[in-house]
Each structure stands twice: as C-alpha cells, then as structure tokens.
C-alpha cells in the first residue's frame, strides 16, 4: 500500500501508478478526504518497497499482509473515512445506510404472472429490492434449472420480466449469474449482480462480473471461512469495483444425525466481518434455514447482529413454488418480518447513541 503525502499532485500519483505497472502489478487509486492511497494489486513479492518510499509525493510504502486489503477497514481508515459501512446506492435505495434493506421475491422466476404478483406483494410488504432466479444452481440435473435453461430467448424473456416488474413496482432488481457466459446478458437487465454461494470461488466469474461496474452481491460459500470469503470479495475490488454487498447464507452444519436446518446461519460472522471490512453485509435466513417457520426469528436475529439487510424468498403460495417452497414465506408474513426488524433496528440505533 502506498500512502501519498497530503499535498501530492496528480502527476506524482500518476508517476507512482506507472512505476507499479513496470513491475507487472496493477494500482488501485483511492482518493480520500485527506490523502490518496494506492493499493497494489498482484504479486507484491516483486516490489522493492524502498524504491517506492522515495518517489516524489510518497509519504509511506507499506506491506499489508491481509489477503483482502482493498476492502479492509485498514484501507478506509487510511483514507480518513468514517467507521461505517460503505453506502451502496442502487436507484433510490441505499445498502449499508441508516435503514436495513429488504430484498425479497421468488427463488425462481417461473412466469410473468407469478413474478408480477409476487413483486406487487413484496412491495406492499415493504421490500426495497426484487429478487428472482433465472439461472438456478441445482444439485440435480433433473430438477428445474430456471427459465434461463430453456435457451437464450427464454433467458432474455425472463430477465425482461424482472426488469419490467422492477420498473412497475419501483424496486431495483437482482438475479444470480451462474457462469461467465451469462454475465453480459444479465448485466443488461438487472441492477445488482448476484454471485451465489456455489460460485464464490470462481475467480473468473468474479472478475467478469466486477467489470460490469454494477454492484455485486457475493454470497458466502457454505464451506468458506470468513477470511476466505473476504479474500474472494477482494477479486471484485481488484477490478476497481468496490460496490460489493456481502451475504451470509449459512455454512455446513456439523455433527451426526439430523441438523433440522438446511445450513447453520453464522450470525457471529456478521459483526466479525464488520470489524474487518467497510462493505455492507446482509443475511439470507431463507437458504440458511431452509424452513419457513424459522424465518421470523432468524431475520430478527440477523438484524440484531447488525446486518445491513436481509434477503428473503417470498411467494404468494409457497406450496406451488417450483424451487425452495419449503423456505418461502408469503408477502403478509414478510410484512411482519420487516416491521419487526425495523423495530429492532430502531432500538439498536437508540442504544448506540
Ligand atoms: C439464491 O439466492 O437463489 C441461492 C441459490 O442462494 P445460495 O447461492 O446462497 O445457495
Ligand atoms: Mn432459493
């Protein structure tokens, strides 16, 4: 990390960037309120730090050991930024701002009628962002893979419903990109690109998605430790895209016998991650529990843990959903969840003041 002097000129910054490039690395230039910080992206072992420390305008050149320095609190502190999550603006919605954000909608987009009816319901319930999978990651090739599996025309049609529903009910929309070949198409239709738990490790997908310069929501792999999760988020930041929304969605349960939940929602990860990074973190109690009867409690608990929002699967008739019906709640239930979470959030804010 290269810290520039307070009065460093643009030419001095550009000179440092050129020097970094000479070593085959890339530079992440961040201009803070008080100073400019340049993060090196790449294999730093090639870099003679003493050489950089004496370049004009440089205050300090330092080695940062963490594998996720660009998204670390250390980085934002050097820039003199406040100790709050980065606020990611999507349309009129702020993720990481003063209010928790609720993303809701079906697991999968099944038809225009289904999506519009759910979109209307979740909007009335108080949701801010509409979700719906078009390319579904499924454990069995014999199960419904999302309308996107029908071919490019079907994929585009489903994505256009998502966009239309978002416009009609005034909600930004999010959908999952399951593979690199889907990145360009999906980015044309949605406001936030979702990278699912199963693809958290796909660095080529992360890189391609990051380059679309749209916010990316990265879900934690169910076997990933926190450091690993943040290290993969760093791949997005390394492309110059720091509009990254993290999402805790449960890790693999341990022990013999039935675990009674689909995954284990790791709620301590929420405040632990907030100590490490300025990125906002949401929780997904739907995929974590796999049980609609646990959504209310785990939603409240996630907000109490400090999550900047929730992703909740919603359907007007969960029994008829083609995917994940067992964990979906109705728009009426969603409304109760949102209201309870907002009350808990207000209480927490009051306590902290
Ligand atoms: C989803 O949100 O649609 C999903 C499949 O979640 P995850 O990647 O967390 O399993
Ligand atoms: Mn689902």
In order of 106, 120, 140, 143, 196, the CA distances from 136 in angstroms are 12, 23, 11, 10, 9
Domain presence at residue 38? yes
What pLDDT does residue 155 have? Answer: 97
Q: Label residue 116 by pLDDT band (50, 70, 90).
A: very high
What pLDDT does residue 350 have? Answer: 87
Q: If you search the block for the tokens 């893979």, which residue do you land on?
A: 145
Centroid of ligand 1 to alpha carbon of 348 (angstroms): 28
Is 118 found in the same domain as 53? no
Which atom of ligand 1 is least distant from the CA of 250?
Answer: 9
Both structure tokens of 202: 């796909």
Domain presence at residue 68? no
Distance CA 113, CA 116 (A): 5
Is 43 found in the same domain as 115? no
| Mutation pick for ligand 1 pocket among 249, 252, 282 (CB with most ligand atoms within 8 Å) | 249
Domain presence at residue 73? no
Nearest CA to ligand 1 atom 8: 196
Domain presence at residue 222? yes
Instruction: Convert the pLDDT of each residue in 310-343 to its tens digit.
Output: 999 999 999 999 999 999 999 999 999 999 999 9
Is 243 found in the same domain as 179? yes
Count of structural domains, the chain: 2
Domain that holds residue 23: 2-63
Nearest CA to ligand 1 atom 10: 197
- Give mean pLDDT, residues 269-282: 98
129 lines ligand 1 (CB under 6 A): no
Average pLDDT across the chain, whole number: 96
Is 45 found in the same domain as 142? no
| Mutation pick for ligand 1 pocket among 176, 266, 309, 328 (CB with most ligand atoms within 8 Å) | 176
283 lines ligand 1 (CB under 6 A): no
Is 290 found in the same domain as 143? yes
Residue 34, domain CATH: 3.30.70.1140
Is 295 found in the same domain as 166? yes
Instruction: Convert the pLDDT of each residue in 193-203 to its tens digit.
Output: 999 999 999 99
Residue 311, domain CATH: 3.20.20.70
287 lines ligand 1 (CB under 6 A): yes
Is 287 found in the same domain as 236? yes
Please tell me the number of Cα atoms within 13 Å of 59 on its side-chain side.
Answer: 14
- Give mean pLDDT, residues 52-66: 92
Q: What is the pTM of this model?
A: 0.97
């Amino acid at each position: 990390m290269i810290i520039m002097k307070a009065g460093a000129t643009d030419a001095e910054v550009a000179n440092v960037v050129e020097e970094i490039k000479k070593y085959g690395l890339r530079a992440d230039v961040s201009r803070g309120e008080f100073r400019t910080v340049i993060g090196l992206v790449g294999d730093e072992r090639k870099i003679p730090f003493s050489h950089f420390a004496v370049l004009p305008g440089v205050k300090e050149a330092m080695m940062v050991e963490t594998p996720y320095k660009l998204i670390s609190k250390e980085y934002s502190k050097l820039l003199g930024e406040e100790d709050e999550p980065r606020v990611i603006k999507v349309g009129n919605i702020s993720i990481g701002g003063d209010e928790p954000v609720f993303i809701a909608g079906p697991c999968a987009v099944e038809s225009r009628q289904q999506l519009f009816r759910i979109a209307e319901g979740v909007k009335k319930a108080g949701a801010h962002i509409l979700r719906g999978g078009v390319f579904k990651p499924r454990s069995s090739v014999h199960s419904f893979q999302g309308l996107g599996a029908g071919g490019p025309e079907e994929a585009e049609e489903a994505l256009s419903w998502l966009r239309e529903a978002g416009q009609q009910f005034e909600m930004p929309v999010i959908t999952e990109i399951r593979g690199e070949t889907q990145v360009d198409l999906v980015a044309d239709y949605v406001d936030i690109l979702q990278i699912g738990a199963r693809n958290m490790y796909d660095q080529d997908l992360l890189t391609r998605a990051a380059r679309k310069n749209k916010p990316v929501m990265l879900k934690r792999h169910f076997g990933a430790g926190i450091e690993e999760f943040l290290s993969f988020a760093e791949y997005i930041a390394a492309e110059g895209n720091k509009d990254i929304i993290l999402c805790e969605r449960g890790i693999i349960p341990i022990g013999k016998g039935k675990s009674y939940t689909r995954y284990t929602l790791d709620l301590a990860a929420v405040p632990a991650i907030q100590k490490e990074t300025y990125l906002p973190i949401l929780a997904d109690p739907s995929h974590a529990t796999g049980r609609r009867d646990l959504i209310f409690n785990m939603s409240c608990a996630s907000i109490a843990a400090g999550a900047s929002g929730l992703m909740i699967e919603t359907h007007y008739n969960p029994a008829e959903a083609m995917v994940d019906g067992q964990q979906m709640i109705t728009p009426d239930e969603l409304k109760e969840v949102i209201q309870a979470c907002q009350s808990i959030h207000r209480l927490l804010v009051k306590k902290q003041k």
